[in-house]
Structure 1
Amino acid sequence: MQQKRSTFMRKRGIYSVNVSTLHRCGQFGPKRTRLHKWLDDNDLALIKIVELGNNLNNANSWVQLTNLVTLTDELTAAGSLRQLTDAEIDQYLAGGEEHEEQLLARLYPELEVEFTQEQLLRKFDIAAIDQSSLQNYITWLLTEATLLNDGKRELYARQAKTILAVTKQLGGKYLQRKKRSQFGRTYYDGLSVQNVNKDLRRAMLGDCWEYDVRSSVVAWKMSFASEYLKNTGLQQDVKKAFCTTLWYLQDKVEFMQQVQEQTFDDGTNVPVDLQRNLIKEAMTALCFGAKLTKHGWRTNDDGWQNPALADIIKNEDERTRFMACTDVRDFVREQNTLDTYINKCVEVQEPTLLKLEILRANKRHSKAKVIAYLYQNAEAQAMAKAYEFLKSKNMGVLAKIHDAFIVRKKLSQTVKHELEELVQFETHNEYWHLGEKQLTRWGDLQTQDEKQRIAQHKAFIANEVNYMRSKPKPQKQ
């Protein structure tokens, strides 16, 4: 129920499920028969597969419930998000003690065993949740979020409700089960501050401050720039050899604005705010190895892969102008130069690394995977230094999001500068800098009486303005 579903899936009662995982659940009898296999074999299946998943790209299967299953859904009716009354919303937010206990047991079966605090922290990161802010967010989703489609409103409400239910059972805390990636990052299983939308994250954490490494992967690559020029014998200054990348790092707003103006003309139907978001997304894709390619290509499994930029800037003319932009092409050229150098350093200094299966593609190592592996490990090490520093200052971290962290109170300029200098020194990266953003809790929504009173006041003001405009102007003497 918490997986993303398109309008097509919602209308036809289709859900996204990892069938292999489902079929591993539950065994019984002397032969340890799998529950779902027994159901299938005896014409008692609870789901039917509409489209089988693909292990190659980690796509889940699409399934429908069979007529042996009745789904009672408090949010939807006939596939659409229904209009809930105030009493129904209150009931939805209140949940139920028994239901919440069952949910907690399903999500965290290991909690049935006694844990020490140290053992718990090895397995989970703990986030303090602003419950009233989260409740306000859910109410807003169900009553006022008119600019979101029903699918998103429904998904976000379910996610928020699950987090709220767990938090109620755990005294205001939410557990995020750690899942370490082979590439170096720490992710979380299930819902977490990492994978929910930004508004839900803000609602979860309440008033706080977010600090993220500015253009993290580009800043990391630039730490190799001086070494590259020295080892290749190029008598060039870093500022001249990598001027576009430095412009991107030092004044990203101006850089993005220039690219935006060259990509979208006056005839575009893309709103200005969305233009900025698309340019930002496209540049991020280029930072992580996307290519300036117009056409797609056939994959090894006889499928077809569109270039990443085609999924971001969908209009072909606008995409062509983006790829032809001089600043974009210079940026990509400089990034490719650094990628190639870093990859060659690995080939010479750490050739055994290239034998790792996770870094291989088509029986040889992938340059993009090598860069991703090195970057994510460097990122993890840098953030570990940052967390150690914050701990030494008695500043608790509310949330960890790869190249960002969230704390309750704003860092003073002295502390922020001290932290940046420490990580720059420890990682030999002078380009490591933190961006800063304030997050505010989700406030109480207006009651119907308050909304009506404000609407009446606005109508009164509008009538007064119209009356004054309609009065004849006094004649000059």
Structure 2
Amino acid sequence: MYDPITIKRQQKLNRELGTIEVPQAFLDKFPDMKRERAEKYFATYVSAVFRVFVIRLAFTSDGETNVSFEKLFNACGTFNYNKVRYSIWNAFKEIYPFMVVVKLGSNLNSKTNYNEKNTRVKVVNERMLEMLLAEKSPQEVYDQLFTAADENAATAAVHIDMDNLARFIGCTQYELEKAPAEATKLRSKLNSNLWQAQLIQKVGIVTEKKFGAAILPMIESPSAFGRTYYKGLNIQNVSKQVRSAVIGHHYQYDMNAAVFATKLYLYGVAKGGDNALVGSLDGTYTRQYLAEKNQIRNRLAKHCFEGVNLPWDSKVKAIKDALTAIGFGARMQGRTWMGKNGLEGTALADILKSPAVRVTFEQDAWVKAFAAEQIEIEDTILTHAETLDGFDEMVEAIRASNEVNGRVTRAGKLAYMYQHYETFIMDIAVGVMKRYGIEPVARIHDAFIVREKLPDRVLDDVYAEWGLRDYMRLDCDEVREWAEASYKRAIDDAAREQAEHHERMKKAETFARMYAIKKTGVA
């Protein structure tokens, strides 16, 4: 509809403007259209983007998310100009974009292959998107996130610490101010956190007025694979930073390397009980990883990323993710695997993107033995599963969940068993807590959140209920409240002033030394 020069010129103008207003390129394209009519169509476009896109804002990853262009097209509608019909979506999407296409979706109606259902897009024009979100009332946001049916279906709610959330928003905005323009990954993460937090803040404003307390409704969406998920924006699917902002001061308990602990549990059951594993070589490398995971990750990070310019934490995280992928069934060769959230990408290639790093990782002797052991454990678990009474029901549940082709795969069976037993194990832990009158604030699959640190006697009872298995342990992380952005700014200012002072002193010393040499002629 527009030539490339017009598009580029208008997009530059959008960046320079401080308001959301009808693009000049549209007015030039339709010169006989009244201004009020043009503004009406632009408002329709912006509202449609908001209605469809606001829900997806909560689920951005690296600045990308999935949207339905069909929904956007239909939501915008059409208009007539000089007896020609035009699409409102097509009239504005290029000259006032909020997103660009990364990968066109197939529009498959599939729950198990969600990333192919809609088009993958990258968020652009973050500043205008921020303005759009800011100008929408809390009630408008709430109505888009939660329908009346959803609200009535809510089985639980998480209290929102509005003061802590406001401090987090301020800190995130400050971090965005500091972040260099070229730090795209960091900025995408910060923007995603900011959008999630601002959406929840608006939800809190509405629920505080409506129910007398700021809460985030939790609408259950049970999975056939055993887990309980929640619809829409919820405490499970926000980032850990936003979760900490919403809940405030708390303690989070995660099962140590949950996938491997659960697999060893199933392996022991298949072998006739854990006593059959004690003193044997079965599960040697998996047990070692559970006992020495930090040392193993650090060694592999140093070995595999030698000479690679990457932050140390990123190296360790990549190794952790690669080992976890192997635990979930990823193979060294390129193929998909069933991860925590369903069918994941092409095995290790999506995690260790550098071929050199990946080859070094795959050729490490410990990694080879570890990966081979995972196959042995999985084979034993699946063979044992076929002897169980509920095997046929499991197969049918997996078949029904795969709406694409109904196939029952090895990865699907492993994911089904893992998630059921993960839920079973964590139900035991929560049940013990409730006997002591302790209610979890929230559950996140292999983790739960509580307000106060659990007493040792509670943990002892949990471990006893788990059969005193030495590899099944809970890691505790205390999460504190967020500080004011002004506090962080003051610390940064003080650090900058100190650095500037050191630089001035260094220059003064250099000047004094040069002056002494000039006066005395002695170096």
Fold match (TM-score > 0.5): yes
In the alignment, what sits opposite 1:286?
326
In the alignment, what sits opposite 1:394?
437
Q: Note the C-alpha offset of 1:43.
A: 4.7
Residue 370 of structure 2 is aligned to residue 331 of structure 1? yes
In the alignment, what sits opposite 1:156?
193
Q: Note the C-alpha offset of 1:167.
A: 1.0
Distance in 1 of aligned mates of 2:410 and 2:199: 40
In the alignment, what sits opposite 1:413?
456
User: What does 1:166-245 correspond to in 2, within 5 Å?
Assistant: 166-171=203-208, 172-226=214-268, 228-229=270-271, 238-245=279-286
In the alignment, structure 1 segments of 5+ residues that lack a partner are 10-14, 24-34, 65-75, 298-304
**What amino acid is the match of 1:432?**
M
- Secondary structure at 1:371 match in 2: helix
In the alignment, what sits opposite 1:103?
141
Q: Cα deviation per residue 1:314-336 (whole Å; 9 max; x = unaligned)?
A: 11121111111121121122221
Which residue, out of 403, 416, 432, partners 2:446?
A: 403
**What amino acid is the match of 1:309?**
L
- Secondary structure at 1:144 match in 2: helix
Distance in 2 of aligned mates of 1:37 and 1:83: 18
Q: Note the C-alpha offset of 1:243.
A: 1.5
In the alignment, what sits opposite 2:173?
142
Q: Does the Cα contact within 8 Å between 1:220 and 1:429 map onto a contact in 2?
A: no
- The TM-score, its normalising length taken from structure 1, stands at 0.74
376 and 452 in structure 1: CA distance in 2 versus 1, 3 angstrom threshold: closer
21 and 357 in structure 1: CA distance in 2 versus 1, 3 angstrom threshold: farther
In the alignment, what sits opposite 1:277?
317
Q: Does the Cα contact within 8 Å between 1:133 and 1:204 map onto a contact in 2?
A: yes
Residue 289 of structure 2 is aligned to residue 248 of structure 1? yes
In the alignment, what sits opposite 2:427?
384
Q: Does the Cα contact within 8 Å between 2:63 and 2:189 map onto a contact in 1?
A: no
- Secondary structure at 2:106 match in 1: coil
Residue 122 of structure 2 is aligned to residue 79 of structure 1? no
Q: Note the C-alpha offset of 1:290.
A: 0.3
Residue 300 of structure 2 is aligned to residue 259 of structure 1? yes
**What amino acid is the match of 2:148?**
E
Q: Note the C-alpha offset of 1:457.
A: 5.5
Q: Cα deviation per residue 1:296-347 (whole Å; 9 max; x = unaligned)?
A: 69xxxxxxx9731001111112111111112112112222112111111122
Distance in 2 of aligned mates of 1:159 and 1:22: 21
Q: Does the Cα contact within 8 Å between 1:206 and 1:440 map onto a contact in 2?
A: yes
**What amino acid is the match of 1:310?**
A
Residue 162 of structure 2 is aligned to residue 124 of structure 1? no
Q: Does the Cα contact within 8 Å between 2:253 and 2:477 map onto a contact in 1?
A: yes
Q: Does the Cα contact within 8 Å between 1:81 and 1:150 map onto a contact in 2?
A: no
**What amino acid is the match of 1:108?**
F
Q: Does the Cα contact within 8 Å between 1:290 and 1:308 map onto a contact in 2?
A: yes
Distance in 2 of aligned mates of 1:434 and 1:354: 29
Q: Does the Cα contact within 8 Å between 1:228 and 1:341 map onto a contact in 2?
A: yes
Q: Does the Cα contact within 8 Å between 1:141 and 1:157 map onto a contact in 2?
A: yes
- Secondary structure at 2:220 match in 1: strand
In the alignment, structure 2 segments of 5+ residues that lack a partner are 1-52, 94-100, 209-213, 337-343, 517-523
Q: Cα deviation per residue 1:429-451 (whole Å; 9 max; x = unaligned)?
A: 55321011111222101179946
404 and 382 in structure 1: CA distance in 2 versus 1, 3 angstrom threshold: same
Q: Does the Cα contact within 8 Å between 1:239 and 1:246 map onto a contact in 2?
A: no
- The TM-score, its normalising length taken from structure 2, stands at 0.68
404 and 449 in structure 1: CA distance in 2 versus 1, 3 angstrom threshold: closer
